[in-house]
Chains A and B, each alone.
Chain A
Amino acid sequence: MAPSSARQIGTVVKYELLKYLRGRRLLAIVLLTIIISSIFLIVPPAIGTQYEKDPKEFIGQMLGFLGILSILSATFFGADAIVSEFESKTGFLLFPNPIRKEVIFGGKFIASALVSVGTIALYYAIAITSVRVIDGSIPANTGLSFAYALAYLFAILAISYLFSAIMSSSVYSLILTFFSFFLILPIVDAVGSIAKFKPWFSITFAAGIATYIFDIPYPTDKAFTTTTGPQAASGASQTLSLTQYYPEVQLSLYVMGAYFIVALILSVLLMRRRQM
């Protein structure tokens, strides 16, 4: 007799992790994490400059790459998790068994969340160790920053599953996931600064709380002007009025939570309805 759904989820997690270990994506993301970290640690002495003295500044600079690692994790481990079962016909092997599609989904999501959290945790571990060795202290709010980074990671992972449940091709799902978070939403965030609207609803904007949390006090929105144009030096420049928006912590957590819940529910429903 088929075991309980909880035991079946455990089985799916185990074999998904085994697939990650045998595949190249896990190796790729670990290498990227190490390479990105190494850049911060190797380049300053290599070009004869000193490390940032302020621990907050140092860790803030390192965590500037947190976004790209989160996006790559979601792309590598979430973007084709569902669609590949249908596209590559492995679903013909898995689905005719006494296992609910929700259980398969749950197992896959947990496995991808585990490796993604592992990636982010590794990056934080390297950053914390580095700042401790170089500056002798760990900045306040590092734990909160990690928690916010995980909130962002879970939200974009859920959205990547949603893309995976919608799209008919793994390649399209991978491209859509990567470019949505790496290009499209950041453009929306930048336009907000010019058009004077706060993109509080944008998940990439909300993700900023993971690095801004090191600023004490926490920054608030501020307007400023800048001069632009080819004749700026000759006085024929244009003055551009911009606003630097900062995500509010509580609202951003709600936004990320909402994305996570809605995307996850929709993904499960779409996977249940999807037919081979």
Chain B
Amino acid sequence: MTDPIVIERLSKEYGQYVALNDLSLRIEKGVCVGYLGPNGAGKTTTIKILTNLLRATSGRAYLNGEDVINHPKSALDHVGAVVETPEFYPQLTPRECLSYIGTIRGMKSSAVAERTHAVLEQVKLLEVVDNRTRTFSKGMKQRLAIAQALLHEPAVLILDEPTSGLDPRGMVEVRDMIKELKKTDITILMSSHLLNEVQEVCDKVAIIDRGTLLTYDSVQHLSATKGTTVVINTLNPITAAEFRAVKALRGVRALKRIETLTLVAQLDGGTKEQFTVLRGILATGVKVTSFIPRRGAIEDVYLSLIPEGEF
């Protein structure tokens, strides 16, 4: 069976500048992929080519087995996309905008009405369903953009920095929404600058720089390989015996006291290993007041792959 998103040797050049350089990527069905890279790495260029907003210089891209470069109409049929923060026609209301997009996609009017209610409720815009979009904030437009991408229940969802422009609550809500969507068969490609967001939401990570794919791996595997740094705060100063006992726990690579009540531990693996180590620490009698992963595995991988000075 064809993978829902297939990119083969994709290149995009703007004169001398190479935005994408022979990029190949194959995303399996039902997987949520975080697409990471510094500014100008080629993330948005890839997404724009996949959504027929840009023409590739060479290479191929397929969505649900359809060639998006030569047959964009059929390729985009089961795809929902949010690219940058799109603007909406200021004269139209969210209901009319969604009706426009739904009708273009061939949805029946009853289905459009039903799905409009559902997606606007999902993005919490139901109260303003009949207000003109000219008065909407950037965050509201971003929510509406997500709503239109979900309107036709796509098999593939392509999101370009979906939490951009949202307030902290909005960001959490969008992440929760993506987590809910992951329970279905949907395939998601999501670019982001927020590494923690990607670690929290995505199953796999693709990191690109200067138009070249540097790594494509599962979050679980990367976590297991890179381990996690954890800051441990205790109620009382830890004794030498307790320190030795914690250091000897399985999964603890290194342990360092940085303040009287604060330790930093380098652990193997990801969240499961963190749980095992925390249980072990508590078993030694150390009174733990907090146990905070300081930096995610994705962040470690990202920083090791992207040279200093790139943003």
A129–B249 CA distance with the chains assembled, in angstroms? 98
Q: Which listed residue, A18, A22, A90, A275, touches B54 by the CB 8 Å rule?
A: A275
Is B53 in contact with A96, judged by CB distance below 8 angstroms?
yes
Q: Are A99 and B104 in contact (CB under 8 A)?
A: yes
Distance, CA A91 to CA B101, complexed state (A)? 12
In the complex, whether B117 has a CB less than 8 A from a CB of chain A is: no
User: A164 to nearest B CB, angstroms?
Assistant: 16
Chain B residue numbers with a CB within 8 Å of A217 are none
**How many B residues have CB within 8 A of the partner chain?**
35
CA separation between A12 and B103, bound complex, in Å? 9
Cβ A3 vs Cβ B87 within 8 A: no
- Chain A CB within 8 A of B119 CB: no
Q: Contact partner of B87 among A19, A93, A97, CB < 8 A? A: A93
With A15-B96, A98-B77, A275-B53 in contact, is A92–B87 under 8 Å at CB?
yes
Nearest opposing residue in chain B for A272, CB measure: B55
| Residue contact A276 to B73, C-beta cutoff 8 Å | no
Q: Which one of B74, B91, B101 contacts A93 once the chains associate, using CB atoms below 8 Å?
A: B101
Q: Provide the bound-state CA to CA distance between A207 and B53, in Å.
A: 39
B97 contacts across to A, CB distance below 8 A: 93
Q: Chain A CB within 10 Å — which of B72, B74, B77, B132 has the most?
A: B72
A156 and B138 CA atoms in complex are apart in Å by 37
Are A98 and B86 in contact, with the CB atoms below 8 A? no
A-side contacts of B72, CB under 8 Å: 98, 100
Binary interface encoding of chain B residues 52-71 relative to chain A, with 1 for a CB under 8 A from any of its CBs, else 0 = 11110000000000000000
The interface residues of chain A lying within 8 Å CB-to-CB of B100 are 11, 15
Q: Is B148 an interface residue (CB 8 A)?
A: yes
Residues of A55-114 contacting chain B, CB below 8 A: 88-93, 95-100
Q: Are A19 and B73 in contact (CB under 8 A)?
A: no
Contact: B104 with A276, CB < 8 Å?
no
Please tell me if B307 contacts chain A, counting CB pairs below 8 Å: no
Q: Which residue of A lies closest to B145 (CB)?
A: A93
Report yes or no: A89 in contact with B86, Cβ–Cβ below 8 A: yes
Q: Which chain B positions have C-beta within 8 A of A11?
A: 100, 103-104
Any B CB within 8 A of the CB of A1: yes
The CA of A97 and the CA of B52, in the complex, are separated in Å by 9
Q: Does B104 contact A92, Cβ atoms closer than 8 Å?
A: no
- Interface-centre pick from A90, A95, A97, A275 (highest chain B CB count, 10 A): A97
Does B104 lie within 8 Å of A2, measured CB to CB? yes
Across-interface contacts of B79 in A (CB, < 8 A): 96
- Shortest distance from the beta carbon of A107 to any chain B beta carbon, whole Å: 10
Show 30 A/B contacts (Cβ-Cβ < 8 Å), sorted by A: A1-B106, A2-B73, A2-B77, A2-B106, A3-B104, A11-B104, A15-B96, A18-B96, A19-B92, A89-B86, A90-B86, A92-B53, A92-B84, A92-B85, A93-B101, A96-B51, A96-B52, A96-B76, A96-B83, A97-B101, A97-B104, A97-B105, A98-B74, A98-B75, A98-B77, A98-B104, A99-B73, A99-B104, A275-B48, A275-B55
